[in-house]
Structure formats: C-alpha cells, structure tokens
DNA sequence: CCGCATCCTTTAGGATACTG
DNA sequence: CAGTATCCTAAAGGATGCGG
C-alpha cells in the first residue's frame, strides 16, 4: 500500500495552514487573536485559509450572535492529528537539519 | 526550540518533488528513466524540479560526455533523509486517514 | 469585529517547438 | 538523449476599501 501523496485533499502545504494549526494549538481562538498570532497574514487570506480548513474538517467555526460580532475557531480531532503530523515533521527536522535551519522559540 | 516551518529552503511541497524522491528511491536513474516513471510530468518541469533539488542538496546530477548524451540523477544522503520523511508522512496517513484516501500499490 | 468585494501581482505549472 | 526557448493559463496570494 502506498500513499497517494499527489492527491492530498488537505491543504497542509498552503502558506498559512501550519501557522493556523500552531495558532489553534492552545485551544479555541477568536479571529482577531489568530491575526495577532500571525501578524503577516491579511484578513482576506486568513479567512480563506480558515474556510478551506473548515471544509476539510480541520477546524470548526463558531459564530456568536453578538454585536460587535465574535467568531471563534477551534481544531477538530482531525485538526489536532494534523498538528501532530506537523510536530512529527519538526521533530524530523531537528534530527536531520543543520542548526542554522532551526530557530529558538 | 521551534521549527521554522514557514521558511523551509526545501521544495518538498512542490508538485513533483515527492515523485522524484520515489523515482530515485531504487538508486541512480537517467533523465529518461525518471520521465518514464513519472509519465505525467513534462521535460521542462521535471528539469526545473531536478535543478531545484540539486541546489537544495537532495540529488546529484552526473553528466557523461557521450553521444547521445547521458545524464544520471541520484539521491544524496540528504535526499534519502527526505525520502524517509515522506515515508513517515505516509505512515502517518495510513494510521490517521480513512481508507478511501489510500491506494493500493 | 469580522470579513466580503474588487482589483492586482506573482509564480507554479504546462504546451509546443526546437537543438547540440 | 537531455534538455532550452517561448508563450500561456490558472490559481495563490496580497492591497485596499466598504459594510453589517
């Protein structure tokens, strides 16, 4: 059995997906909180990333009927698995990359 | 320490990189052999993929001074590590994906 | 606050033809 | 055989402004 790596339904490789996984690692976050954790992303692109991840079942989107509006995002079980994959890749990188490719957190 | 996942010098996510890693898994291959193993890729794109992987230290390119020309590609130690990462991701997928997302080899 | 509408730029990727 | 050279398309990503 082989992995069909060229037909992934998940947009794990999209520019901001990994950032969102990390941003939601600590739990439920508001849209603005996410933006603050990922300063370089624009609202439009973050929205489209989140929408895609929602379609793929990686995050849930909860809209509150308040004014001003409030929307919260949270990883699904599947999203947490994807975060686990990301961690695995980072572990791999720590073992196999030169130190210049890593950054202290 | 955290992985700088947004600044990867490697083009692992590029469309054909994983295919090339697989194609070279069995050892040294000629350009034409690679094309045969990856029928859907065009010469131009395969060339640019290989050139990028060469710059990144994942493959070596050996040109023979013959006529007709012969060029062989081979994974470096680093390329073999990347192949290991790919295998890890496939293992992860087998454990975490539904069966419809997998394909028998 | 959240995010949509609009417009724009960049780039990966591809089709086709040609060459040492 | 192993590529270049050209031209092209689609889509990701971004900038800015507006609106409930």
Domains of chain A: 13-97 (1.10.10.10)
**pLDDT for the residue numbered B96:** 84
Chain CA centroid to CA A49, Å? 8
pLDDT category, A62, cuts 50, 70, 90? very high
Q: Which residue of A has its CA nearest to B16?
A: A6
Q: Which residue of B has its CA nearest to A89?
A: B85
Of B10, B8, B6, the closest CA to residue A19 belongs to B6
C-alpha A101/C-alpha A89 separation (Å) is 13
Cβ contact, residue pair B13, A15, below 8 Å? no
C-alpha B78/C-alpha A104 separation (Å) is 23
pLDDT category, A104, cuts 50, 70, 90? very low
| Per-residue model confidence as pLDDT tens for chain B (105 residues) | 344 444 455 578 899 999 999 999 999 999 999 999 999 999 999 999 999 999 989 999 999 999 999 999 999 999 999 999 999 998 988 888 765 444 433
pLDDT category, A10, cuts 50, 70, 90? low
Local structure of residue B80 (DSSP, 8 states): H
Rg for chain B (alpha carbons), in Å? 15
Q: Which nucleotide is nearest to A71 (CA to C1')?
A: C2
The tens digit of pLDDT for each residue in A90-103 reads: 898 888 876 444 44
What are the distances in angstroms from CA A94 to CA A87, A88, B85?
Answer: 10, 10, 12
Triad B66, B71, B75: Cα angle to 5° = 150
Q: How much is the average pLDDT of A31-55?
A: 96
This prediction has a pTM of 0.85
Supply φ then ψ for residue B30, to 5 degrees. -80, 160
Shortest Cα distance from B15 to chain A (angstroms)?
Answer: 7
- Least CB–CB distance from A92: residue in B85, B101, B105: B85
Range with lowest mean pLDDT among A6-15, A32-41, B14-23, B80-89: A6-15
C-alpha A8/C-alpha A86 separation (Å) is 15
Angle between helices B77-96 and A77-96 (to 10 degrees): 160
**pLDDT for the residue numbered B55:** 92
How far in angstroms lies nucleotide D15's C1' from the CA of residue A101? 31
Range with lowest mean pLDDT among A5-14, A63-72, B34-43, B74-83: A5-14
Residues 6 or more apart in contact with residue B100 via CB below 8 angstroms: none
Chain CA centroid to CA A92, Å? 19
Q: How much is the average pLDDT of A44-49?
A: 96
Q: How much is the average pLDDT of A50-55?
A: 94
How far in angstroms lies nucleotide D17's C1' from the CA of residue B4? 34
Those residues of chain B whose CB sits closer than 8 Å to some CB in chain A are 1-6, 9, 13, 15, 18-19, 78, 81, 84-86, 88-90, 92-94, 96, 101-105
Which residue has its C-alpha nearest to nucleotide C14's C1'?
A: B42
pLDDT category, A9, cuts 50, 70, 90? low
Mean pLDDT score of chain A? 85
What are the distances in angstroms from CA A20 to CA A14, A46, A99?
Answer: 11, 9, 25
Chain B residues in contact with A84 by the CB 8 A cut-off are 92
């Amino acid at each position: 059995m082989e992995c069909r790596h060229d037909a992934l339904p998940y947009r794990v490789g999209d520019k901001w997906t990994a950032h969102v996984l990390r941003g939601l690692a600590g739990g439920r976050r508001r849209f603005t909180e996410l933006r603050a954790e990922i300063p370089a992303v624009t609202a439009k692109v973050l929205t489209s990333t989140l929408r895609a991840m929602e379609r793929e079942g990686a995050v849930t989107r909860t809209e509150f009927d308040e004014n001003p509006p409030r929307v919260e995002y949270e990883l699904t079980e599947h999203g947490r698995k994807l975060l686990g994959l990301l961690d695995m890749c980072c572990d791999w990188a720590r073992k196999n990359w030169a130190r210049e490719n890593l950054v202290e957190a």
